[in-house]
Amino acid sequence: MAYLLGVVLFALAILVSVSLHEAGHMLTAKKFGMKVSRYFVGFGPTIFSFRRGETEYGLKAIPLGGFCKIVGMTPQDDDVEPGDEHRVMWRYPVWQRTIVMAAGSATHFILAIVALWLAAMFMGLPNKALAGPLPAHVKITDCVVVANESRECLPSDPAGPARQAGLQDDDKITSINGTPVATYTDLVNVVRALPPGQATIGYERDGVSGQVTADLAAVQRTPLENPEGAAVTVSALGVAGPVPPPGVPLMVTYGPIEAIGATAEYTGDMAIGTVQAMQRIPEKIPALWAAITGDQRDRDTPISVVGASRLGGEAVENDAWEIFVLLFISLNFFVGVFNLLPLLPLDGGHIAIAWFERVRSWFFARLGKPDPGRVDYFKLMPVTYVVILVGGAFTLLTVTADVINPITLFSR
């Protein structure tokens, strides 16, 4: 029940943010005097609507977004009523049209930043001290899963070598067969490089050093340097990590003033991460297809609204509200950036065309030539259809992967 509640809550949060996105367009358009004829939440058949002034507001049956209709977004629009010709959007100054079209993304950014500031004060943000490679503090597992699978232990699974050897949660592994181990990554690399069998494990517990002998298990895992490659036989110690050092919090809370700086820093990190994630999308498409056809799902592959809602459900089910909130923040920031890409039918495409027209008019004026006028959107329709087709196919791919082989954060 908690999982379902989380899914519904996250889907509702997405619907609210998309509705506010459209409200950003509507409010700025009205502020400049443009005519907004309709504002609806949802798509499909109308459940109810009412008119206030010149705008019809309402709710539709399919809660997958929303829209607002600004009259005359392009010169080719044919829905302009007599007497409204002077209020069509395309006649307004380019800076006003830019503000109106960017208001949707600005709304997502505002939501993300305000939510971050509140989270920094009341929930905490990820501890920056844990951002880099961590020492090899570990959590001891009850078993090792021999197959290349991510799941809970079953009675048929062999016992974990580390537990059998007497290691405990929060122990810091310092060496394997005399080879120093500085980080958890070092630990994984050294253990996998050894043949299955006995190994001497150096550790530190409560400031006291010790040594045990563990019988490393043989398991199937994909190579670290090629996570999408075929599984090979490697050794496993039966530990999980990296685990923060004892006494070091995962999340750090801030006062109202300190939270401003923490929010700004986290926002900068999100901006870099978002750009990097968008750059990796094309190379992740084969991994998405492989996940649909039976391979293990790569956690670094893109997710759809369906996948994000499922992760939100997992977060609520495991009482990890900080993951729920940070996922909502990251999704809003990503949507805000993505929507500004200079491609039709995205808002960024309309902004790019508006400024192209402005620069072209300026250039022709400098040459003493007549203003070439507005861009003919009909001539751009083939490109727009390609963007819609590619975007639709990608959305279908991610939704299918999220239904058939979803990313999970917790063992369920």
In angstroms, the CA 144 to CA 160 distance is: 5
In angstroms, the CA 166 to CA 211 distance is: 10
Three state DSSP letters for the chain: CHHHHHHHHHHHHHHHHHHHHHHHHHHHHHHHCCCEEEEEEEEEEEEEEEEECCEEEEEEEEEEEEEEEECCCCCCCCCCCCCCHHHCHHHCCHHHHHHHHHHHHHHHHHHHHHHHHHHHHHCCEECHHHCCCCCCECEECCECCCCCCCCCCCCCCCECHHHHHCCCCCCEEEEECCEECCCHHHHHHHHHHCCCEEEEEEEEECCEEEEEEEEEEEEEECCCCCCCCCCEEEEECCEECCCCCCCCCCEECCCHHHHHHHHHHHHHHHHHHHHHHHHHHHHHHHHHHHHHCCCCCCCCCCCCHHHHHHHHHHHHHCCCHHHHHHHHHHHHHHHHHHCCCCCCCCHHHHHHHHHHHHHHHHHHHHCCCCCCCCCCHHHHHHHHHHHHHHHHHHHHHHHHHHHHCCCCCCCC
Q: Which residues contact 20 (CB under 8 A, 6 or more apart)?
A: 107, 111
Confirm if 169 and 138 have CB atoms less than 8 A apart: yes
Confirm if 146 and 94 have CB atoms less than 8 A apart: no
> Is 225 in the active site?
no
Catalytic entry in 22, 81, 85, 225: 22
In angstroms, the CA 259 to CA 102 distance is: 26
Residues taking part in catalysis: 22
